[in-house]
Amino acid sequence: MSRDLIKQLKSLKQAEVRPSEKWLKNNRELLLSQIKNTVTPKEKTKFNFETVWQAMSIFLPYSFVHKVVRPIVVLLLVVGMGISSWVVAASASSESLPGEWLYSAKRVAEKTQVIMADVVGDTNGSTMLHVEFAKRRAEETRDIVSQNDPSKIEIAAQTVSDLKEEMRTVSTKLEEIKTTQDSKAEMAQNINQNAQEIKDVLKEVKVNLLTNSDTTSSSDDLSAQVSEVKNLAKDTAVRAVEIMVEKHLQGDTTVSKDDVKQAINVQLQSAIKDANDSKQSVDEVNKVLGVVKTEVDGLAHDAKGTDLVSTTQALSDKIDATSKQTQAAVSSTKQFNVVAGKTVDEGQMLLSQDNLTSAVDKIKEANTATTQSEKITDDTLKAVQNVLPVVAVATDAPIVSTTVVLATTTSSSLNIILSVSTTIKITTSTPAMVISSSTGLTTTKK
């Protein structure tokens, strides 16, 4: 018996024994199930601030952690959440205009940016923020005026006032750049470019005001304010170029010599363009007024009846006086245009000789001429716009109604639409008389 058993064991040892797959699978699942039942599942650790306070208490007194550190941390979390909400509101208000409910958030955000820059001592950052905000005020003014809404004139005036304040701040910062050794010419270059853009935007604002059909004393005052700030922006740009030159001559390499010369050249070209624009605008006005004067004089000559004669004669006299002023303006702007052109040519010559300082002086001389020319142009346009609509009712004649229809003419220089009254309909006891501009000024009687 024992021999048989030993023989069987030897045969098993030499044979290749493999358990069945079914047996392996069943036993594996059973084993895993037993292991799982004997191991306690590990709970997920949840964040608890109390753990933080306990950990801090190891290094700091318990009372200090709970009475000082914990309240400060909670306060910071609340403030952080508040700031996040405020940032979202400020972002949404970035495109808002004065008078809109989100505009206050926009201004608060701007003031906060400036405060933060000043706190960390970022002088250059603070300067560029004021430059950016000045551009925003200029663009806001343009957008408001373009709506042609007389009720928003006061809002536009306040925006221009804010713009003026920003430009004054920029001018002050510009002087600090000049006297501070660490400030570079590159900063002055940025201010020059932005000031030029502001000037161009305000030039557009002036055009919109001149073409506004609802011209009032308030809009006239606003136009004068815009002119003042536009000249301030122009002066700031020139001053920035002057500081660029000074920094460059002192060895500042943040702006190349070619960049400095380019900035001077742009200023010179801008001066002659402004002079040409003023001259061409006055020339256009004079042409239109000349046609109106001829036809109105003809009306006065052909008029019959006391009332009609009085009305047409008053209109003729007013237009005649305005025509004389316009002709004088044509002569003056022509002279200033010649002076500006000559000065710019001299500046270009100095620039070619690398006499940068003297070239900047020529910019100032040319700008003086263009500013005077622009003032004459503004006064002339205002006079022409005022006289034609007003004159029709400036008489004691029994005028029942007066209707003024505005026609247009386009200036080749500014591409503006000049409001000139070329259609005046007067209804009195006599037959109506109409001056029509549909095919040139003609006279018809009914």
- By the 8 A CB rule, do 229 and 203 touch? no
- Does residue 368 share a domain with residue 355? yes
pLDDT of residue 219: 77
Specify the number of domains making up the chain.
3
What is the mean pLDDT of the segment spanning 15-36?
61
Which of 69, 92, 115 lies at the terminal end of a domain, its last residue?
92
Boundaries of domain holding 107: 93-255
Mean pLDDT of 72-79: 63
Per-residue model confidence as pLDDT tens digits over 253-265: 899 999 999 999 9
Tell me the two tokens of residue 348: 């270009």
316 shares a domain with 233: no
Last residue within a domain, chosen from 209, 229, 255: 255
Same domain (yes/no): 183, 328: no
Instruction: With respect to residue 23, please indicate whether it lies within any of the assigned structural domains.
Output: no
31: in domain = no
Q: How confident is the model at residue 31 (pLDDT cuts 50, 70, 90)?
A: low
Average pLDDT, the chain: 75
237 is a domain residue: yes
pLDDT at position 213 is: 53
Q: Quote the CA–CA distance of 279 and 374 in Å, as a whole number.
A: 9
pLDDT at 339 over 80: yes
Whether residues 77 and 188 share a domain: the answer is no
The pTM score is 0.68
Within 8 A by CB and 6+ apart from 322, the residues are 289, 383, 384, 387
Whether residues 212 and 341 share a domain: the answer is no
With b for 16 or more beta-carbon neighbours within 10 A and e for fewer, the 78-97 pattern comes to eeeeeeeeeeeebeebeebb
Q: Is the per-residue pLDDT at 93 higher than 70?
A: no
- Residue by residue, what is the 3-state secondary structure of the chain? CHHHHHHHHHHHHHCCCCCCHHHHHHHHHHHHHHHHHHCCCCCCCCCCHHHHHHHHHHHCCHHHHHHHHHHHHHHHHHHHHHHHHHHHHHHHCCCCCCCCCCHHHHHHHHHHHHHHHHHCCCHHHHHHHHHHHHHHHHHHHHHHHCCCCHHHHHHHHHHHHHHHHHHHHHHHHHHHHHHCCCCCHHHHHHHHHHHHHHHHHHHHHHHHHHCCCCCCHHHHHHHHHHHHHHHHHHHHHHHHHHHHHHHHHCCCCCCCHHHHHHHHHHHHHHHHHHHHHHHHHHHHHHHHHHHHHHHHHHHHHHCCCHHHHHHHHHHHHHHHHHHHHHHHHHHHHHHHHHHHHHHHHHHHHHHHCCCHHHHHHHHHHHHHHHHHHHHHHHHHHHHHHHHHHHHCCCCCCCCCEEEEEEECCECCCCCCECCEEEEEEEECCCCCEEEECECECEEEEC
**Can you tell me the distance from the alpha carbon of 301 to that of 323, in angstroms, rounded to the nearest whole number?**
18
Kindly state whether residues 75 and 194 are assigned to the same domain. Answer: no
The answer on 97 and 86 residing in a single domain is no
**Cα gap 72→371, rounded to integer Å:** 59
pLDDT in tens, 144-171: 999 888 889 999 999 999 999 999 999 9
- Rounded CA-CA distance 242/253 in Å is 16
pLDDT of 298: 72
Residue of 310 and 104 predicted with greater confidence = 104
Let me know if residue 261 belongs to a domain: no
Neighbour tally for 396: CB within 10 Å: 9
Choose the final residue of a domain: 200, 226, 255.
Answer: 255
**One domain for residues 133 and 251:** yes
Instruction: Tell me whether residue 274 is in a domain.
Output: yes
One domain for residues 319 and 411: yes
The verdict on 216 and 195 lying in the same domain is yes
Which residues share a beta bridge with 424?
404
Q: Would residue 50 count as lying in a domain?
A: no
Task: Give the tens place of pLDDT for each residue, 174-229.
Answer: 998 888 877 789 999 999 999 999 999 999 998 888 766 555 667 778 989 999 99
State residue 416's pLDDT score. 28
Helices 153-179 and 123-145, packing angle to 10 deg: 160
Residues 238 and 275 in one domain: no
Q: Is residue 80 part of a domain?
A: yes
- Comparing 119 with 272, the larger pLDDT belongs to 272
Highest mean pLDDT (candidates 126-135, 415-424, 434-443)? 126-135
Q: Is residue 346 part of a domain?
A: yes
Residues 102 and 86 in one domain: no
